[in-house]
Amino acid sequence: MGTLLPPEILDTVLQQFPCRQRQIYELAILYNDGFPPPSTLVAYGIEPTHKLDVITAVLGVRQVRHAIVRCAECVSPRHLLNKIFTACLTLLGRQDEADEYDRIDSVNALAINLERLFRKQEASIVLVLDQLDSLMSGSQMLVAALVRFPDMVPSMSLLLTTASPTPLPLSHSGIPCIHFPPYTRLEAVRLIAQQDVPLPSFEHDCNIDSLQRTWQSFVVTVYDSLAGPTSASFPRFEEICHKLWPRFIWPALSGQAPPGRCAKWDYGLLLVKNRMLFQTEGEEELVDKLHRRSRPLTFDTLHAQTVDEVATAPSTPSKRRLSAPRPTQPSQSAGPPMLKHFSTILLLSAYLASHTPPKQDIILFSRLSSASTTKSGKIRRTPKKSPFKSQSRAAAAATTPTRSDGGTGGQGGWREQKMAARTKNVFDVKFGAPKAFAMERLLAIVRAIHPDGVARTKGVSDRIYREMGELQRLRLVTCLDDERGGRWRINVGREWVVDLAQAHGLTVTEWEMEEISLHLFNMMISMKQPFLGLQGTRLQIAVGVLAGLDFLLFGYDQGVTGGLLTLDSFRKQFPTIDAKAPNISQAQASTRSTYQGISVASYNLGCFLGAVACIWVGNPLGRRRAIFVGTSIMIVGAILQAASYHLPLFIVGRIVTGIGNGLNTSTVPTWQSECSRSHRRGQLVMIEGALITCGIMIAYWIDFALYFTDPHPVSWRFPLAFQIVFCLPILAFVMHLPESPRWLILKGLDEEAVSVLAALNGQPRESEFVRDEFQAIADTVLEESKGSFRDLFTMGENKHFHRVVLGYVNQMFQQISGINLITYYIPNVLENQVGLSSFNAKLIAACNGTEYFIASWIAVFTIEKIGRRKLMLWGVVGMSICMAILAGTDSIGSTKSGIAETIFLFMFNTCFAVGWLGMTWLYPAEIVPLKIRAPANALSTTGNWIWNFMVVMITPVAFSSIKYHTYTIFAVINAAIFPIVYFFYPETAYRSLEEMDAIFQKSTVWTVVKVADREPHRFDKHGKALVKYEETEQARRASVVAAATGRRRSSALGVGSEKADAHQAAAV
């Protein structure tokens, strides 16, 4: 130990920093001549308490070459990297050679330049990165790379300083840490008190005993006045002491006579003389008034002011000055004694905490923020929102007469009189007895009504306790528990609090509490209104948002697993799916690839089962309840996945999640289509498709972010559990939104259907538009009311089987295009096929998901303008070309071909997002009739999931067996899709669901595209009716059927029935 700690360190460094002995010992042991320094060392502590100074002193005495870089001064990561290199050049005396090195725009470039530098001059240095936590919020990847930097440059070791309470969240263990705790009260006071007493440079007659003892007592007083974080920040505390000391000691230095009969000044007399220095609103007020706003008062400044005042002092007082009006102060006898502003705010908060139930806190204080306060810190009232009404005392006295009980009187109408009459009942009955409250609740209320008054730190600050202790000494509040942080209660009545508040320009009005109760009542009434009180476009947006959230959940589940397969913790937990494990045979690798495919594809198998179940339970449950049940099942599956410790349980969780998602994806497109107008239906469903990619993007980025926590299990358990966050809003709101009007009519609920149609279109129930919509749907239901599951496979007038096949094949085409080769396995593809590192593969996969999400919005803005057919055709052409290029580049296997392969993975996503992402969820719902819509969509969705299962299952095996020819197969499949779409898929843009029925009734399998092009549109591009429903062929045919059966339904509308009867009679 003696050789590790030479005496000069104890003599020099310990003398400078007497309270950092342990930290100095640790640094001296780690940086010594006998052993190499640690590659990385972290010095952490919540406040700047000489960390950098101690480190610099120890390294200097040890004669260790070191360069210091202050991260807080760097405006960007590139700036930091260049600053590091410049510091190293300066340290080695080679700053003139900076132009000889390459440009630094990445960590790798910095490592290359430093290797060249150290080859020229063999040296080992310590790089000190100060305040590294300033980079943590925006440059986490850079911090992770810097931590590993000594592995790339062996001649350099890192010493990181941070103001975080714990060491940095490093990606690997084994890094030593040194803790610099905040100075205790004794240590901080000792460090400042031992300094030389600051004295002026001019001559003075200091009439005071024991100047050093006075300075020490003064330092203690200043420390005790700072209840916030300043007292723990030594540099700031030291600065404030030196700025306040001249003003504090000036009465003794300036020759002023001490008060009373005292012959000399002492500390007690000076403290009484300067008591206003410490009677502030705590730390923030002290620092703001005496440190930030005013000029620093030095001895020379005070001396100059004194000389000027003596030279310019008038012989007699100015009469004008004496007669100037002074602000009136409230008389002590007229009301309660005056308190400081913050103490008054605290007392008002205590009153509210004692007299309002905790469940009303969100109504009372949630709308209050920093915008609710004026520059002076007083509270101003936003009408009908804030529990305080801010106004100047003079204005309040001039405009509103004040009653003795503190309320407001005046001319007022019936509302004010009614509220005033009910005040006594409200406060005496409901809020009469004060109740105990916890300090945490009081702090929350104080922060809500006075945001700038309390520092945003965890827990209740000492300032609050000190002020509450003062209020308790005045018997204004009562502490019910002895321990710190116990329960408190207000100890004065409302009249007393109101008078005190008025003295500070604050009025607690009685009627506002009643208004809050009224607001609560109105909010409860609005929650009971149908569809959350929404109508028209807002209601359709609400339906779209919830449907989109379900598809976002769908996309998240698709993308989350691919990033987990490459994690060490995931492979360690499930070793049977690790096909890249060392020392395994080719047969074992093939078997593990199969297990990997099963574990991933089991989710798709569950989705298939859920879609099949929807065939039978979709119509009985209805759209909303089916979504509710499916989402509940997904939550159970997510819990099983996140909590699994064995592969069978993980697969079961995947299947359960898939069942819920299959039920949802079979129902949501139908619900969305049946609740939207024809001119917006395509755009809304394409937005849902875009949200699928948004979910994939979120999954990729979460996987990438938690990659740095690997090998901790949270790196894969958290992403699997995070999907529950998307499920909860769906469960909370889906039953408050409208059911499909078509399903309601199908079930005979005509009154409910009319109400839903009126709400969705924002029109009265009696309007002609609502009547036409209801009649069109009702006629379709009447015509097809005798359907069954066997009708899916019939080719009668309505061409059910033809339409089911189009929907099923459309879903199948989406999956066999090869999109899920990328969605599920892109990290594996980039790592194993392209040859990237695990870090780069996850980063590029996350960027790929982001580009996928951006590209998906192209279809949102083009789906209605260009149409369904053209987008599908253009998309499949682009996908075929991309797959062909991917096959060629992967067969070469060079670095340049790997770059090209990565680019065309992005291009394939773009083509798919534009033409096929949301199309397969829109198109089947647009072409099948109402009678078979639920089972047909469920059947087509089963096609999506069974082919999805096949692709996801065979992808690992295909890459292991036939390599790049996997891309060739998908290129040929995409090329074959083009003629099928061109000849057999009709355009559905701007067509109502009932118009598509008429088109298929008039056409055959071979002519449906031509008939759709010739058939006139009932609605234009803006959703306005071009042809009235009564004039369409479908209405005439429905009238004939209704006349024959006597079953036409129009009574639910209550109006227009005579007109409907007339049409029926004319048809007969």
Q: And the tokens for 421?
A: 């009459």
Which residue, 813, 540, 557, 811, is CA-closest to 694?
A: 557
Q: Are the C-beta atoms of residues 992 and 1018 closer than 8 Å to each other?
A: yes
Most confident of 297-306, 388-397, 597-606, 656-665: 656-665
pLDDT in tens, 695-718: 888 988 898 888 888 888 888 899
CB 915 within 8 A of CB 866: no
* Whether residue 1050 has pLDDT greater than 50: no
**DSSP sequence for 762-813:** T--TTSHHHHHHHHHHHHHHHHTTT--GGGGG--STT-HHHHHHHHHHHHHH
Range from 380-394, 659-673, 810-824 carrying the lowest mean pLDDT: 380-394
* Strand-pair category, 506-507 with 389-390: antiparallel
Q: What is the chain's length?
A: 1068
- Burial (CB < 10 A; 0-12, 13-18, 19+), residue 325, is exposed
Provide CB contacts within 8 A for 1008, sequence distance 6+.
802, 984, 986, 999, 1000
On whether both 31 and 149 belong to a single domain, the answer is: yes
pLDDT tens, position by position, 839-872: 888 888 889 889 988 998 888 888 888 888 899 9
| pLDDT tier, 637 (very low <50, low <70, confident <90, very high otherwise) | very high
List Cα–Cα distances, 324 to 191, 194, 316, 321, 773, in angstroms: 48, 48, 16, 5, 78
Element at 1039 (helix H, strand E): helix 1033-1045
CA distance 15 to 8: 10
> Is 435 in the same domain as 509?
yes
Q: Is residue 679 part of a domain?
A: yes
Please identify, among 286, 305, 324, the residue that sits at the C-terminal boundary of a domain. 305
Do both 141 and 195 map to the same domain?
no
Single-letter amino acid code for the residue at 391: Q
In the predicted model, is pLDDT for residue 511 greater than 80? no
Predicted confidence at residue 969, as pLDDT, reads: 92
The answer to whether residue 194 sits within a structural domain is: yes
Residue 398 has pLDDT above 70, yes or no: no
Higher pLDDT, residue 165 or 623: 623
Question: Within this chain, do residues 613 and 648 fall inside the same structural domain, yes or no?
Answer: yes
Please tell me the distance from the alpha carbon of residue 36 to that of residue 34, in angstroms, as a whole number. Answer: 7
Residues 496 and 387 in one domain: yes
CA distance 847 to 843: 6
User: Could you tell me if residue 460 is left (phi over 0), alpha (psi between -120 and 50 degrees) or otherwise beta?
Assistant: beta
Residue 517 is predicted with a pLDDT of 43
- On whether residue 698 sits in a domain, the answer given is yes
Q: pLDDT tens digits for 302-342?
A: 555 555 544 444 444 333 332 333 333 333 333 445 567 77
Looking at every residue in the chain, the average pLDDT score rounds to 74
The answer to whether residue 1 scores a pLDDT higher than 80 is no
Give 291-300's long-range contacts (Cβ < 8 A, gap of 24+).
291/239, 291/240, 291/243, 296/243, 297/243, 297/246, 297/247, 298/246, 299/198, 299/199, 299/200, 299/201, 299/202, 299/246, 299/250, 299/253, 300/200, 300/201, 300/202
Say how far residue 27 (Cα) sits from the centre of its chain.
40
Q: Beta strands of 357-400 (E only): which ranges? A: 389-390
Tell me, yes or no, whether 744 lies in a domain.
Answer: no
Can you tell me the mean pLDDT for 60-76?
83
Taken in order 452, 457, 459, 464, the sign of the CA dihedral is: negative
Does the pLDDT of residue 160 top 60, yes or no? yes
Q: Where are the extended beta strands (E) located within 504-598?
A: 506-507
- Asked whether residue 566 falls in the same domain as residue 518, the answer is no
What is the average per-residue pLDDT within 210-225?
A: 79
Residue 127 phi/psi, 5-degree rounding, is -95, 115
- Cα–Cα dist 224/210, whole Å: 22
As for how many domains the chain has, the answer is: 5
Q: Same structural domain for residues 522 and 540?
A: no
DSSP letter assigned to residue 1029 = G
Asked if residue 387 belongs to a domain, the reply is: yes
775, part of any domain: no
Q: How far is CA 923 from the centre of its chain?
A: 34
Would the pLDDT of 745 be above 80?
yes
Q: Which two tokens stand for residue 920?
A: 């397969």
Least confident of 364-378, 914-928, 988-1002: 364-378
The residue behind tokens 């992403």 is 719
pLDDT at 999 over 80: yes
Least confident of 247-256, 527-536, 851-860, 892-901: 527-536
**Same domain as 734, residue 703:** yes
Domain boundary among 279, 305, 331: 305
Q: Each residue of 790-804: b (16+ CB within 10 Å) or e?
A: ebbebeeebbbbbbb
Boundary-marking domain end, from 179, 207, 233: 179
Report phi then psi at 685, rounded to 5: -70, -35
- The two tokens of residue 731 are 């469960």
Backbone angles phi, psi at 110, to 5 degrees: -65, -40
pLDDT at residue 379, rounded to an integer = 37
Rg (CA), the chain: 38
Same domain for 172 and 35?
yes
Could you tell me the CATH number of the domain that includes residue 567? 1.20.1250.20
How far apart are the C-alpha atoms of 487 and 497, rounded to whole Å?
20
Crossing angle of helices 819-828 and 895-915, in 10° steps, is: 140
3-class state of residue 1062 by DSSP = helix
At residue 71, the pLDDT reads: 84
The pair phi, psi for residue 389, each rounded to 5°, is -120, 110
Residue 468, in any domain of the structure? no
Query: Which residues fall within 8 angstroms of residue 189, CB to CB, at 6 or more apart?
Result: 216, 219, 220, 223
Which residues are CB-neighbours of 771 under 8 A, at least 6 positions away? Answer: 1050, 1053, 1055, 1056
In a shared domain, residues 687 and 545: yes
Q: Which residue has the higher pLDDT, 189 or 878?
A: 878
Q: Are 331 and 427 in contact (CB under 8 A)?
A: no
- Cβ pair 716, 569 in contact under 8 A: yes
Question: Can you tell me the distance from the alpha carbon of 715 to that of 571, in angstroms, rounded to the nearest whole number?
Answer: 12
3 state SS for 833-902: HHCCCHHHHHHHHHHHHHHHHHHHHHHHHHHHHHCHHHHHHHHHHHHHHHHHHHHHHHHHCCHHHHHHHH
Segment 520-551, tens digit of pLDDT: 444 444 445 677 778 888 888 888 888 888 88
Give residues with Cβ within 8 angstroms of 749, minimum separation 6. none
- Helices 838-866 and 678-706: crossing angle, nearest 10°? 170
Q: What is the model's pLDDT at position 911?
A: 93
Do the Cβ atoms of 601 and 558 come closer than 8 Å? no
Q: What are phi and psi of 182, to 5 degrees?
A: -60, 150
Q: In angstroms, how far is the first alpha carbon of the chain from the final one? A: 113
The torsion angles phi and psi of 994, rounded to 5 degrees, stand at -75, -30
Burial group, residue 75, by CB count within 10 angstroms (0-12, 13-18, 19+):
exposed
In the block, tokens 């607001």 appear at 519
**H helices of 123-204, where?**
140-147, 149-152, 185-193
Of 751, 777, 744, residue with least CA distance to 1035: 777
CB of 953 closer than 8 Å to CB of 820? no
Give the per-residue SS3 of 605-673: HHHHHHHHHHHHHHHHHCHHHHHHHHHHHHHHHHHHHHCCCCHHHHHHHHHHHHHHHHHHHHHHHHHHH
Per-residue confidence (pLDDT) for residue 205, from 0 to 100: 60
Residues 577 and 484 in one domain: no
Does 820 map to a domain?
A: yes
**CATH number of the domain enclosing 65:** 3.40.50.300
Q: What percent of the chain has pLDDT over 90?
A: 9
Q: Are residues 49 and 146 in the same domain?
A: yes
Backbone angles phi, psi at 678, to 5 degrees: -65, -35
Range of the domain at 206: 185-305
Who's near 308: CB < 8 A, 6+ residues apart? none
Residues 6 or more apart whose CB falls under 8 angstroms from that of 883 comprise: 818, 908, 967, 968, 970, 971, 974
Strand 125-130 with 156-162, pairing: parallel
pTM exceeding 0.75: no
Q: How many CB atoms lie within 10 A of CB 523?
A: 11
